[in-house]
A and B are shown apart, each in its own frame.
Chain A
Amino acid sequence: MACTSTSRADQATEPVRETLWTSPAIYSRRHRKSASALLAVHNQLARQRPLGGREAGFLELVEQARSAPAEAFTRVWTDPVAYYWVRIAYELLYAVLNETPATGVAAACARDYGAADTAAALERHLHEFRRFALGIAAAGGPGCRFDEPYRAGLPFALPGSLLYVAGRGEIAVYGIDGDTLYCRHGDTERHLPLRPAASADTGPRVEQCPVAGVDDYRCGLNAAAFNNLPGMEFTAPVQAAGPAFQEHRVELVQQTLQVLRDRAPEVFAQFADAVPYIALKPLRGGDYTNLAHSELPGTFIAAAIDHPHEMADTFIHEFHHNRLFFLEETGPFFDETHTQALEEQRYYSPWRDDLRSLHGIYHAVYVFIPVTRFWLRVLAEDPPDDSLRAYAGERIARFLLQLRIGIAQIDRHAELTPYGEALFRQMAGDVAELEGLARAAGVDDRAAALACGADGRIAPAGASSVRADVLEHLARFAPRQQRTHLESRLAP
């Protein structure tokens, strides 16, 4: 797929450490790019008319967005779902213009639309832009009225806000005028005020998702935002859990954010820049525990575990997958002339039972560095809770051994671009620094292996020690030719 990123000139003078961990510039850079991508899609559709005029409604809505107040457009276009939409629109249009098959999430999206061909999928996807026109209107932009209604499954989230239309089934939205959303539900016409409903009405109604706040930061627990996302197959556990699941865990998220603020302030500060909302799910819901997706930058799904420190670990972890998505928008990490760093799933990862791509291991190394730093800070506070102190030591010891393996795998097998290499060298330096801090703190990898259950209870986990556990995993899951090399890297 041909596309580009902004110049890296504005990064040239920035220390790699800041680029990697703290610089907020990467967020606005990616949002600018996704707004430019919207214009690129608009311009090429306007010039080439590949849908024979059926793109007219979309073109008109983009023209309206251009005249909307920048504040309203910005609120909507920094919603994670805007990137999802524009990326798929770009890929589908590319496929139509160049008569090539759609790939990746765009292909999955086309399948979910039930479209007969790529052009039909593009047409259907352009209709989906109406949700953003509604979001702009709700954010204070000009009202909008559709000749053909926008059909959405409930719950339906209004992009750029924490509001959603609650209820069951589907609604047909005709537009927004002032502070009223006009829609039809079944045979009934509805005029819904754009504010949380006070009544016990069980029909379609506007609600605000639960919100957890610490200091000036407000984090929506926005399950509705993960609905109506064709091509994204992983959202079912969030919807299945229902809105009450989020509501009942506001306090847990609040406590988690407080832990973040106190033990990972540089990460907490970035949540305000990059994470407008998240969603929780039950630990055993779906085929995954936690998830961040490149097409939804700025949000994630976290399994609820009744332990704020464990949740903070998850938040830091998933947040950094997101940060790396933003960093990757600037340029590729891997030189894929000789290897397929994303596709070839043949490398041992200490974090998984299945073999992984080098790209996946690169991600893992990146996210476990700040998580380890977090647990070091928890340990440094000398928590009075014995189990928390033991668990912090366990996490540090385990993650440092795993990081040593991850770095060895990238070092040995990856061909990195200069950009990917600069970031990776900084990561390796950070790990060395963390190892020094862990030694000074008396962290010992002969400590008992522990795990945190869904109920927040910390208990022994199988093997006798962290080191034995990590070595056992290596012996069990690493291909022989990788294992020997990695065992030598784990020498005490």
Chain B
Amino acid sequence: MQHEELLDLETLAGDNPELATLEAGLRHETGDEAGHWTRQYRASAKPGGKTQTN
């Protein structure tokens, strides 16, 4: 990946607010308003030609 920064798990395991929130989300401590994942979505064009896309 051209502009990709290195993912260092040791660093991310340290002071990482996002990790703390993800863990809280798993424990359901912060409720459903704690954050956001991309909504699951399958973007697919249907048969029928390219005029029937998306």
Pick the 3 closest A-B CB pairs, nearest first: A4-B35, A2-B25, A40-B22
- Given the known interface contacts A27-B1, A329-B38, the answer about A363 and B28 at a Cβ–Cβ threshold of 8 Å is no
- The bracket for how many chain A residues form the interface is 35 or more
A258 at the interface (CB under 8 A from B): no
- Given the known interface contacts A329-B36, A360-B54, A451-B49, the answer about A24 and B43 at a Cβ–Cβ threshold of 8 Å is no
Do A287 and B47 have beta carbons less than 8 Å apart? yes
Which residues of chain B are within 8 angstroms of A3 by Cβ–Cβ distance?
Answer: 21-22, 25, 34-37
A36 at the interface (CB under 8 A from B): yes
Which residues of chain A are within 8 angstroms of B2 by Cβ–Cβ distance?
Answer: 24, 269, 272-273
Which residues of chain A are within 8 angstroms of B25 by Cβ–Cβ distance?
Answer: 1-4, 40, 94
Query: Which residues 110-142 in A have Cβ within 8 Å of B in the complex?
Result: none
Closest to A365 in B: B54
Closest to A419 in B: B36
Do B1 and A273 have beta carbons less than 8 Å apart? yes
Closest to A328 in B: B38
Bound form: Cα–Cα A295–B9 in Å: 22
A37 at the interface (CB under 8 A from B): yes
Which residues of chain B are within 8 angstroms of A330 by Cβ–Cβ distance?
Answer: 36
Bound form: Cα–Cα A32–B8 in Å: 9
Which residues of chain A are within 8 angstroms of B42 by Cβ–Cβ distance?
Answer: 234, 291-294
Do A349 and B54 have beta carbons less than 8 Å apart? yes
Using A32-B18, A93-B26 as known contacts, list a sample of 18 further A-B pairs with CB atoms less than 8 Å apart, ordered by residue number in A: A37-B22, A39-B13, A44-B26, A65-B9, A70-B9, A94-B28, A269-B2, A272-B1, A272-B2, A284-B47, A289-B50, A291-B44, A294-B42, A328-B39, A332-B39, A349-B54, A352-B46, A451-B50
Q: Which of A5, A90, A452, A469 is B50 in contact with, Cβ under 8 Å?
A: A452
Do A98 and B51 have beta carbons less than 8 Å apart? no
Which residues of chain A are within 8 angstroms of B27 by Cβ–Cβ distance?
Answer: 44, 97
Bound form: Cα–Cα A94–B48 in Å: 40
Query: Which residues 1-36 in A have Cβ within 8 Å of B in the complex?
Result: 1-7, 24, 27-28, 31-33, 35-36
User: Shortest Cβ distance from B34 into chain A, in angstroms?
Assistant: 4
User: Shortest Cβ distance from B28 into chain A, in angstroms?
Assistant: 5
Q: Which of B3, B21, B23, B36 is A43 in contact with, Cβ under 8 Å?
A: B23
Closest to B34 in A: A2
Do A36 and B50 have beta carbons less than 8 Å apart? no
Closest to A37 in B: B22
Which residues of chain B are within 8 angstroms of A293 by Cβ–Cβ distance?
Answer: 41-43
